[in-house]
Amino acid sequence: MKTRAAVLYESGLPSPFAKSKPLKIESLELDEPRAKEVLIKIKATGLCHSDLSVITGSTIRPTPLAIGHEAAGEIVQLGEGVNNFEIGDHVVCTFVPSCGECLPCREGRPALCEPGAKADLKGEMLEGGQRLRTEDGGIIHHHLGVSGFAEYATVSTNSVVKVNPEVPFEDLAIFGCSIITGVGEVVNTAQIKPGSTVAVVGLGGIGLSAVIGAKLAGASEIIALDINPDKFKIAKELGATSTYDSSGSNITAEIKEKIPGGVDYAFETAGAVPSMEVAYSITKRGGTTVTSGLPNIEQKFAFPQFSLTADEKTIKGSYLGSCVPFRDIPRFIKLYNQGRLPVNRLLTDTITLDQINEGFDQLAEGKVNRLVVKMD
C-alpha cells in the first residue's frame, strides 16, 4: 500500500528548516504486516528533541530515514498469528521494541533490550529488515521501529501498547516518549520519596513531564531551571515551586541558599553538558543526579571524582524512564484520566504533516513545549 511520510535524506542541513527542508514529504510503498506485526493508521505524532538530534546530525541514524517515534494510532490490520491485538484497538508506540527474551528483558528492563537497540541503530524492524520503500524500490530505514510521521506504519507488536480509546490521540502520542521518560525517571529511575527536594534542569517536554512526575510523587520543593525564562510560567502551573535561569554564574550558590546543601534529586533533561554540570553541582551530599538527556555522542561530562566518593553522590542514567511500557503506560493514562497527570497542558499546538519542517524550527528555538502532527 501507499503512505505519505516525512523522510530524512541528509542530516546536518542548516536551519531554518523551513528553508533547507531536511524532511521531504513523499509517497512511499509500505509492506503489509508480517508475523508479530500490525499495521497502524497513525493519528498523531509528537515532535521530540530526539527527532531533532537526528535531523541536526547530533545523533547518527542510517538514511534515508522515515522519521518520528512518539506516535499513537489505530490498528487496521493484523499480521499472521497476532492474537493479542484486534483491529480497531487504539495504541501508543514505544521507541524501544522489547524482544522479551534477552537478559535485560528477562530482568524486567525492556528499555535496555539488546535486539531492540541493535534494530534501532540499523534502522530495521525488530523482526529484521525494512517495510518501507520508495516508489522506485529504494530502501527507507525505520526510525526507532516506529516511523511515525506518516499516514500508516507497520510496527512490531512489541512496539505498541493497547490503551483507553477515550483519550484524544494528540494526548496519547505524548505518552510514548515525553511522559514515560519524564515521569518515569522520577518514579522509576530515582524512586523519589514524598517530601524530597527536586530540581529539573531543562524544561522541554521531558523536563516538564519530570516536573509533573515530581509533584505526583509528593516532592516538597520542585525547582525548575532553564536558559529560557518563557518556560517558567508553564513549569509553575505544572507544579514547580520556584524557577531559575540555569545559565546564571551563581546558580549553584543560589540553589544551595534556597535549599541548604542542595537538592535530594536533580534531573538533567536537556541533553547538554552545561545542564549536567548544573544538575550535579546542585545535588546535595548523598543525593542523586539523574540524566535522561541525549547529548551529541562526542560530548564528555567531567566532574571531580573525589566528590563522588567523599560526598557519596549517585549519578544515574535513565532511558525510556526505566519503564516497562506495557505496565506503565496504562497506569499513567489512568492517572491522566483522574486529572493527576495533566498531559494536555504540555501540548502547545497541532500541525499538519506538510508543516513539519516549520514545526522543528519552533522546537529548536524553544518556542514550544510539545507540537503534535495530527494526521486527520
pLDDT digits (tens, 9 = 90+) for 343-375: 999 999 999 999 999 999 999 998 899 999 999
Number of other CB atoms surrounding residue 331 within 10 Å: 14
Task: Give the domain range for residue 260.
Answer: 182-319
Do residue 147 and residue 226 come from a single domain?
no
DSSP letters, 36-77, are TEEEEEEEEEE--HHHHHHHHTSS---SSEE---EEEEEEEE
Do residue 18 and residue 156 come from a single domain?
yes
Q: Which DSSP helix (H) or strand (E) runs through 172?
A: helix 169-174
Do residue 15 and residue 154 come from a single domain?
yes
Do residue 146 and residue 28 come from a single domain?
yes
Cell numbers at 244, concatenated? 531559575
| pLDDT at residue number 270 | 94
Contact 284, 263 (CB under 8 A): yes
Q: Residue type at 296?
A: N
Q: Does residue 167 lie in a domain region?
A: no
Give this prediction's pTM. Answer: 0.95
What's the number of domains the chain is made of? 2
Q: Does residue 42 lie in a domain region?
A: yes
CATH number of the structural domain spanning residue 205: 3.40.50.720
Residue 252 to residues 36, 277, 313: CA-CA distances in angstroms? 51, 10, 16
Q: Does residue 353 lie in a domain region?
A: yes
Do residue 155 and residue 272 come from a single domain?
no
Do residue 9 and residue 156 come from a single domain?
yes
What's the Rg (C-alpha) of the chain?
20
CATH number of the structural domain spanning residue 31: 3.90.180.10
Q: 83 CB contacts (<8 Å, ≥6 apart)?
A: none
Q: Does residue 296 lie in a domain region?
A: yes
Q: Does residue 77 lie in a domain region?
A: yes
Do residue 17 and residue 155 come from a single domain?
yes
Single residue among 319, 334, 359 that ends a domain in this structure: 319
Do residue 152 and residue 190 come from a single domain?
no
Q: pLDDT under 70 in the chain at which residues?
A: none
Do residue 154 and residue 189 come from a single domain?
no
Closest CA to 71 of 155, 128, 129: 155
pLDDT digits (tens, 9 = 90+) for 179-189: 999 999 999 99
Residue 169 to residues 32, 173, 189, 333: CA-CA distances in angstroms? 23, 6, 27, 12
Do residue 110 and residue 189 come from a single domain?
no
Cell numbers at 299, concatenated? 560530548
Q: Does residue 170 lie in a domain region?
A: no
Do residue 115 and residue 254 come from a single domain?
no
Instruction: Give the separation between CA 67 and CA 212, rounded to whole angstroms.
Output: 28
Q: Does residue 173 lie in a domain region?
A: no
- Asked whether the CA dihedral 58, 60, 65, 68 is positive or negative, the reply is negative
Do residue 250 and residue 123 come from a single domain?
no
Q: Does residue 48 lie in a domain region?
A: yes
